[in-house]
Structure 1
Amino acid sequence: MTDVIDGNAVAESVRDDLGGCIDTLAAAGVTPTLATVLMSDDPASETYVSMKQQDCEEVGIEARDIELDPDAPADRLFETIDDLNADPDVNGILVQMPVPDHVDDRRVLRRIDPMKDVDGFHPENVGRLVAGNARYKPCTPHGVQKVLAAADVETEGADAVVVGRSDIVGKPMANLLFQKAEGGNATVTVCHSRTADLAAKTGAADIVVAAAGVPEMIDGSMLSEGVTVIDVGINRVEADTEKGYELVGDVDFESAKAKAGAITPVPGGVGPMTRAMLLYNTVKAAGLQADVDVSLP
């Protein structure tokens, strides 16, 4: 019987556990505050930001919504980031990606104060992660760790394959899985677009994390019996639906489910965890900045 992991339920548990931390901060006169900066008129980006703000409000985190004209000069965004860096009441800063073409996204990441970088993408925070002393773990890989723990999937001694090498998911995911720490100690293979015989790699794995951004690229024929499959992909494909499309993962769910011992669906798997871990990082940031000890779950 395959365990279809309910990411919404795990995310709800994380949010519930944050309640005590937020109460501890409140007793010290601190309200965790996340500033979201949107410099885009892309409907998907607008939706993502709106959902993140709603999540904040539900758990007691203050959300600040800043919207910039996508045609504004890049300096407008950098000046906004500087103002937020200098504001002691703002604990976390999230600039919704992608930014317009005339804005250097890497410069954006470097501009955010590393103490307020709740995405965990500033070079300083990336370095700390690789060194095994993470300040803020990137939200999606950290969410995957929480999902694996909730499903009682043992990573220690496991053979794990991460398909994808992005800075956002693939690279930090591999680092977290092989580190000498809880939720790690796996033997990790990172696969990508140049990998020869991908099926041989995934077929030998105990855990497969699919994060390549290619719709349904992994199917049941590429997996071993009883494998744990974590599908990070969210791809919009044409479909005969009211919207004209549907969301699918990087894994062909039905054929993979027939092989897997545990699997995450799309939607409803890793996605809710990414948002929950953003709240986690914002609460952690507030505690670090105010020097208040919060017992994070």
Structure 2
Amino acid sequence: MSSASEGRIRRSSVSLLTPPPQCVTLLTDDGVPVEAVYEPCTRRSGSRGAAPADTTAIVVAHGFTGAVDRPAVRRAARVFARHAAVVTFSFRGHGRSGGRSTVGDREVLDLAAAVAWARELGHRRVVTVGFSMGGSVVLRHGALYDAPAHAGARPGTDSADPGAYADAGAHADAVVSVSAPARWYYRGTAPMRRLHWVVTRPSGRFVGRYGFRTRIATEDWDPVPLPPVAAVPRIAPAPLLLVHGDRDPYFPLDHPRMLAEAAGPDGAELWVERGMGHAENAADDALLDRIAAWATDGTTA
């Protein structure tokens, strides 16, 4: 799975529906078409009719085998829309997007395209919220794509490209990572051993394609992308929220604690959710509402 050159984003202007909601096909920097949906903030008092420039946009990065039309993703979008405009999209290899999943590597390009689209629509403040695989992607994206005011302030962030990106369209103003791993190749739980079988074996990829509607790349990572635990110290000064369930069957609590420790003093806020399982399927409406409130704190949205 290649991690080469993650730079600026090209995108198409092909609109499939008249907004709201607005459905488009984005084109990533490496030429992969990605389906995306934009929904304005609809329910919170005072936000209906507000200009995009005065409203936060939340970009949702789903977990592995998810997609823009999956019920858990749509539910998250509905809750988030009470606080902010929402962009949902399908990672490469998922849903109606093109390409093949690289399980968190080149997916950073898909997220960058979605963030840039939110800014093209007029939103000055964009927050990324990722779940599981998407949680690792938002962490790496936060390290790789820098706001113009801080361009060059971060050290090299990825084995494939040693520089941080100064891209006015693609950076996140705050990052929320839910149920993310701290390190790659983790096989310490039965669900993760099953996931590795799906990703690495031909029979597993067959199940992924026809059982989970997920097309998976056959190549190994080369080079290995920056791991989440190495990305989190480089997200500052953007605020970072880490959310994890104490009953997560995929990643035990040493993962979020390792991420929080790596972020350094005051570098991240950690919420350990009692009784919560894994990712968007386990995040109830109350938690999603709290995440959205954190993401929009201090804004007019």
Q: Of Structure 1 and Structure 2, which has the larger fraction of its residues in helix?
A: 1
Q: TM-score, normalized by length of structure 1?
A: 0.37
Structure ranking higher on relative contact order (CA contacts 8 Å, 6+ apart): 1
